[in-house]
Amino acid sequence: MEALAATELPRGPQWQYEPKWDGFRSIATRHGRKVELQSKAGRPLGRYFPDIVEALLQLKAKQFMLDGELVIPVEGDLVFNELQLRLHPAASRVSMLARAHPALYLVFDLLEDARGESLLVEPLRQRRQRLEAFAAKYFNDTVRLSPATADLSKARRWLRTMRGGLDGIIAKNLDASYEAGQRSGAMQKIKDLRTADCVVGGFRYASKSRVVGSLLLGLYGSDGLLHHVGFTSSIAAGERAALTKKLEALRRAPGFTGR
Work out the number of other CB atoms within 10 angstroms of the CB of residue 31: 13
* Inter-residue contact 209 to 195 (CB < 8 Å): no
Query: Residues 6 or more apart from 35 whose CB is under 8 A from it?
Result: 28, 29, 46, 53, 56, 57
Question: Which is the catalytic residue, given 20, 34, 60, 172?
Answer: 20
183 burial (CB, 10 Å; 0-12 / 13-18 / 19+) is exposed
Asked whether 88 and 95 are in contact (CB, 8 A), the reply is: no
How many H-runs (helices) and E-runs (strands) does the chain carry? Answer: 6, 14
Is residue 60 flagged as an active site residue? no
Q: Say which DSSP state 213 is in.
A: E
Residues annotated catalytic, as ranges: 20
